[in-house]
Amino acid sequence: MAVITQIPHHSAHKSPSGVKVKDEFVVNCNGEQHKVIVTEKGRLLLPHHPDIEGELAFAGLGGNTPECLRLLEDLRSHQSPHISLVGQDGDFIRHVWQKQSQRRQRRAVTDPLLRQTMRERAEERFVGIVQSCIKQCRYEGGDNTNTKHEIRVHIVKNTPPRFARFVEKKECNECVLVTELHLPLRWLTIWRRGLAVIKGCFVLEVLWDGGDELVVLAVQQRIGFSVQLRQARFDIKRGSLTWFDPIPPNGQLYLPL
């Protein structure tokens, strides 16, 4: 069963991010000590898991769910459809979690080698999904020529997504077109929404969600094999993709008028 350790404190205080903390405790999350915070407004914060939806989506591919996220899922099932911890403290959360943990203890995966195998299989599924999406894109080269095409996918943490295409020389002067991607787990949430490929262009991120309109970071075809990352507006109802021109400076976000 997962172990929970109380962090003693006498009154509500503010976290480094300025959030008012009502209660906090430490969870043994797959061998690491992770802090769980309950705010005065009843929110549950998991500072060691900045990409919660991405990790949950990855677990849906067969990966092991971290204990911190099990806690989140337990509370969601206990207080469905919305999490509301207003007026509650760490004692309540521990009670809910330990009760749920007892129910799933028999089927819990505790073998580190089995956990590693599960993660590797989930990573293979992740790579397969990305490769399938790339093959749906309308980029020149690779499948349309005699040049062999190799798709390399890297899963990254806490770094922006990247996309590159280049020609690489192998042995015997053989040329291979390489499409190389660095994607965080949160990209799976884009894929699950059916937004991974829009109008033949690969989407790396959804930068702004306005309901019927989105601002996305997508890959645009340039001359030859080359591509560039650009912001574009996607009109969901019309199905149109409009590139912002000129290209905004690094870090600046263009929003629809």
Q: Quick: pLDDT tens for 120-147.
A: 889 999 999 999 999 999 887 644 456 7
Q: Is residue 72 part of a domain?
A: yes
How far is the CA of 161 from the CAs of 72, 112, 137, 226, in angstroms? Answer: 26, 29, 18, 17
**At which of 78, 107, 136 does a domain end?**
107
Q: What percent of the chain has pLDDT over 90?
A: 33
Q: Is residue 236 part of a domain?
A: yes
pLDDT at 232 over 70: yes
Helices 67-78 and 52-60 meet at what angle, rounded to 10?
90
- Do 90 and 186 lie in a common domain? no
Q: Is residue 220 part of a domain?
A: yes
Are the C-beta atoms of 207 and 222 separated by less than 8 Å? no
Q: Is residue 140 part of a domain?
A: yes
**At which of 52, 86, 107 does a domain end?**
107
- Do 123 and 194 lie in a common domain? yes
Q: Is residue 256 part of a domain?
A: no
**At which of 107, 138, 170 does a domain end?**
107
User: In sequence order, what are the residues at sequence separation of 6 or more whose Cβ sits closer than 8 angstroms to the Cβ of residue 182?
Assistant: 154, 156, 159, 161, 162, 163
The mean per-residue pLDDT over the stretch 83-107 comes to: 57
DSSP one-letter string for 55-93 = HHHHHHTTPPPPHHHHHHHHHHHHSTTS---TT--HHHH
Domain enclosing residue 169, as ranges: 113-243
- Do 99 and 118 lie in a common domain? no
Predicted model pTM: 0.70
- Do 136 and 57 lie in a common domain? no
Q: Is residue 250 part of a domain?
A: no
Of 35-39, 163-167, 181-185, which gets the smallest average pLDDT?
Answer: 35-39
- Do 198 and 233 lie in a common domain? yes
Q: Is residue 251 part of a domain?
A: no
Tally the domains of the chain: 2
What is the band of 51 on the pLDDT scale with cuts at 50, 70, 90? confident
What is the band of 34 on the pLDDT scale with cuts at 50, 70, 90? confident
- Do 119 and 215 lie in a common domain? yes
- Do 54 and 136 lie in a common domain? no
- Do 118 and 239 lie in a common domain? yes
- Do 26 and 96 lie in a common domain? yes
- Do 45 and 166 lie in a common domain? no
Judging by DSSP bridges, how do beta strands 175-184 and 148-156 pair with one another?
parallel
- Do 64 and 184 lie in a common domain? no
Rounded Cα distance, 120 and 204, in Å: 23
Q: Is residue 193 part of a domain?
A: yes
Question: Which carries the bigger pLDDT value, residue 239 or residue 90?
Answer: 239
- Do 195 and 174 lie in a common domain? yes
SS3 category, 210: coil
